[in-house]
Structure 1
C-alpha cells in the first residue's frame, strides 16, 4: 500500500504556505530544536512530531471539527495513538491535507491524502487562545470613567428636578366668567316671574281674586 507521506513539492501554493507554517508552529510548541537547519524541503522531511502532540494541536486549531474525525485521520499513521509514536514532516503534511478535506465537507478517506486540497475554500483555523478570549476585564481607568459618567448623569437629573420644583405654578383659568350683580338680578327676576305664572295657573295665587284676572 502506498505510504501516507507527502513531499513538499506535492503541495500546491496554498497548501505549502499553510502546512509549513503549521508544522513550524507545532514544532515550536513541541519544543523541537530546528537550529542549524534551513527551512527548505529537506528540513521539513527531517522533522519529527509526536502523534499525541499533533493530535492536541490539531484539535485546538480545528476545534470546529469532530474530535472523532481527527482521531480517525491520525489512526492511518498510528493505529493506537501511542505516546511514543511520531510523525515525520511528510506525514504531517498528509494529515493536514486530510483535515482540510474534512473541513471542506468531505468524509475521512485515506485516498484523499493524494488529492490536493484548497485551504482557502475552508474556514481558516484560529489559535484556541484567540477563539476563547472573552471581553477584556475592566481597568481602573475604565471604572473611573464609568463612575464619572454616572455621577454626571445623576447631577443632570437632580438639576432638572430642582428647576421643575422651583417653577411658579400657572394659575388655573376658569372657562366660565364669574357672576356680576346685573346677571344675578336678571336671573332672579326671570325665576320669580316664572314661579308666579305657575302659582297663578294652579289657583294658589291671589286666592278669590284669581277670577278678576
Structure 2
C-alpha cells in the first residue's frame, strides 16, 4: 500500500511485487491543458498529467502499467582484511544493483509536514515552473495515486565498516608487562553512494507497512542510517 492505494501487483511470469500504477507524462500548466485532457473532471494546474495508455479518453485503472522492480538483479559485497608489519586493515563493503524503490514520502505530505529541499526547490508553483514536479498539493489529490514519479533507482554501494589498527612493537610491551597492545580507529557507514532522493534506498521494516514479498521496496518514512566513529585500545596482559 502507498497512501492508501495498492502500489504493487504480482502476476505469473512477472516480478513478485512489481510496482504498478500510472505513467506520468508531465504536469498540467494551466486550465486550458486540463480542459483538453482526459483528466478534466479531477485535475487542476499543478497536478500530474497521466498517460492514457488505452486511448479511450479516460484515465482509470485500465491505464495502469508496470513501473519498476523492487527485487534487485545483483547483490554484492566484499569483506576482507589486510596486514602489513604492525598495521592491519579490515573493510566491509555491501551493495545492490538493478533495483527500484517506491518513494511514498512526498505523497504522505498533506500540508503540515515538511517537504524535502529537492521537492520544494523544484515544485510546480505557476505556469512554466516545472513539468516534472507537481505542486505541494501532492498528498491531497489524484497526485498521490501510485505513479512513475515515485519510482526511483534504489541501487547503492555502502562502506559498512572499516577499521585500521596498529599493534605496538614487542620491545615496548616488556616495559609495561603487557603481551599485546593494539590501537584502532573504526568507522561504521562512513560512505554511502546512491542516487535515491530519500534518506536511504535500503528500505527496512517500518511501522504500519506490509513487508510481505508482494509488498516490498516501499519507503514510507525510512530513517537515515547514521555514521559512527570511534577509537579504541585492546590490551592483553
Give the TM-score band, short-chain normalised: under 0.3
TM-score, structure 1 as length reference: 0.25
Higher percent of residues as strand: 2
TM-score, structure 2 as length reference: 0.23
